[in-house]
Chains A and B, each alone.
Chain A
Amino acid sequence: MAQDERQWQATAHFYTQLFACVWQQLAPYLGAATTLDLLALATATLAEAYPFLTRLVWRPEGLEAESFTKAIADEPPAHVQAGCERLLQELHGLVQTMAGSLLAQRLVAATERLRLAFDPALSLPTPAEELEEPPLPAEPRELALPLLHSVARQAVQLYRRLQAQEAELARLRQERESLRQTPDLVARAAEVQRQPEHSEAFYHTLFELSPDGVIVTTIDGTILQANPRVAEILEVEHPDALVGRNVIDFYVHPEERDALLEQIYTRQRVEGQRRELHTQRGRRIIVMASTSLIDYRGQPCLLSVMRDVTERARLRQEMEDFAYSASHDLQAPLRTFEGYARWLLEDYGHLLDSTGRQLCQEIIDEALHMKKLLDGLLEYSRIGREHTQAVEVDVRAVLEQVLHDLQLEIAETGARIELPESLPRVYYPEVRLVQVFSNLLSNALKFTGGKTPEIVIGCSEQGRYYRFSVSDNGIGIAPEHFGRIFEIFKRLHPREQYPGTGAGLTIVKKIVEAHGGQIGVESTPGQGSTFWFTIPKPEPAGDATADRAAG
């Protein structure tokens, strides 16, 4: 026992000496701070395997002997010996990497000489036999020292950063693996969500949680990945059951897929397309889908996001059908009111006094006004119900037609109307474009406030859109009414002042939006208004979906 104890103490003594020697070799060249950094790095690497190393206290003068004694007190000798040797190796590696082989050689030479000087009976790991005393490399010149110090410091900092990055990378890889393997996402989620910028895990969560269907397919339609929402939309048990199937199986109109691919080839991305699908259970549904070409694990694929709008479409259809039949059915009694009141006036007018005749006249006027309201409602419901064919239209021809239709109003008001020099050809249902310009121009001719109307029609290009505008010098609109003017039957003025039903702008807005455009107004009360709207430019490939999207 005593023998063991003595040997143990000798070993401890040896390593104290060894680390003192290490310090002497490194600190003068690298500087105390860098040497401490290197030791800390080496210790950190070994911390898990040899925790006692972390308890060593390094001072700017070297290892604190007392801390060493304390640190190893309860450790098995073999463990201490192995730990110290590993620390030495690690340090040697770091010195080699960062300070160059010259210093590393000096370090080895010094430590090996120390080993030789110690009692071989300690059974220390022996160096290669017949080790020659390696020549100590020359002392660096004093002037070079500060430079060397700073280089060494920077090297250590870089190395630290590298190590941190490698550790982060390893952690992410591991995280990805475990996410892939464990279905239990919840446990990991908290940790992952703290660093959303890191990783696939973030996108994976997004994919899983999305209230919209997200699906990845090959170009020919084979499903590679689908999120749980897609499974719900298509009424499939589990998203995995979709993998390997072809999306075309779910299309009500498979030819739409070819049209989609054609568009993808020309512009890589298609947004807000309406598509009819069959679910697994045979139910017919309507989805709005956006699709983009992506690189998925090295092959070109399609990523689609889809939303089930079946219910919305049904309600809208129902509402439009209702509006249509209601306004249609209401027309018949109105005809009777108007016709009979006229009849009364014509054949029995002489039996009535002037009040009686006035009342008949008012019945006629009101019936005619209500007919206009119903016409507006009918027209409004029609935009959604009826699919008008988009064709190539010359905007100038449309404007000329509208101006011709309005020639009476133009002549009455003495209006001056200015058209732009050049006007494009667009892809639009012609009657709808006529309606849009006709409504905007008749408003400009109507709300004049007694002035002679000066109307300027503008056209400019705005990215993927043409922007048209109709500016007048009329009464203008206060900004707080900007929203209201587009609501159906909302009017800002009494009918006696400005006749009309309040349906015109609502119809214009519905047409513009149904064809992928936007509408807006700018106005200064008393000075005039500018109504503008946009029309998507024609696509290179024929785009037959524009009007269908209105449905």
Chain B
Amino acid sequence: MRQLTVLLVEDNPRDVRLTQRAFTQAGLAHDLRVVRDGDEALAYLQREGPYRDPHTSPRPDLILLDLNLPRMSGHELLRYVKQDHRFKQVPVVVLTTSGRPR
């Protein structure tokens, strides 16, 4: 089975750590890529700057998105992802403390 590439957009390193552990515990073959804010996420998706190489920065199969982000907000990033034909098929899991859709 192919390894699952997951893009985690999260600015809190402790949350990153907990997420990494959760994946490990789940026993999924995964490749977790972490970016710290919306702008970095956008650069990753568009393969800009440090993410130019498609081998080291593969397109994600899943995006884990924290809505409360510095700079470009999670909402804006979500809108961008869902409007771009290249990414709109990629499932996005929103990480939020709110229990209800906002």
Contacts and interface: CB of A to CB of B under 8 A. Distances in A.
Interface in A308-343: 328, 331-332, 335-336, 339-340, 343
B68 A336 contact: no
Contacts of A332: 12, 15, 97
B15 A336 contact: yes
Contacts of B12: 332, 336
Given A328-B68, A332-B12, A431 B18 contact: no
Contacts of A328: 68, 97-98
A335 B16 CA distance: 11
B102 to A, nearest CB: 8
Nearest to A382: B100
A335 B68 CA distance: 14
A131 to B, nearest CB: 106
B53 to A, nearest CB: 32
B50 interface: no
Contacts of B97: 328, 331-332, 335, 374, 378
Nearest to B18: A339
Contacts of A343: 18, 21
Interface in B76-102: 97-100, 102
Interface string B11-33: 01011001001000000000000
Contacts of B18: 335-336, 339-340, 343
A240 interface: no
B98 A336 contact: no
Contact of B100 (A336, A340, A431): A431
A335 B99 contact: no
A401 to B, nearest CB: 15
A320 to B, nearest CB: 15
B100 A335 contact: no
A336 B10 CA distance: 14
A522 interface: no
A378 B18 CA distance: 24
A375 interface: yes
Interface string A212-237: 00000000000000000000000000
A328 B18 CA distance: 19
A336 to B, nearest CB: 4
Contacts of A339: 14, 18, 21
B52 to A, nearest CB: 32
Nearest to B14: A336
Interface in B21-47: 21
Contacts of A386: 102
A332 B96 CA distance: 10
Contacts of B15: 332, 335-336
Contacts of B21: 339, 343
Nearest to B21: A343
B70 to A, nearest CB: 13
Nearest to A347: B21
Interface string A355-380: 00000000000000000001100100
Nearest to B19: A339
B99 A375 contact: yes
Report which residue of A331, A339, A374, A386 has the largest number of chain B beta carbons within 10 angstroms of its beta carbon: A339
A64 to B, nearest CB: 98
A335 B95 CA distance: 12
A370 to B, nearest CB: 12
Nearest to A338: B18
Given A335-B18, A336-B18, 11 more contacts: A328-B98, A332-B12, A332-B97, A339-B14, A339-B18, A340-B14, A340-B18, A343-B18, A343-B21, A378-B97, A382-B100
5 contacts: A332-B97, A336-B14, A340-B18, A378-B98, A386-B102
Question: Which 8 pairs between the two chains have the least Cβ-Cβ distance?
Answer: A331-B97, A339-B18, A336-B14, A332-B12, A328-B97, A335-B15, A343-B21, A375-B99
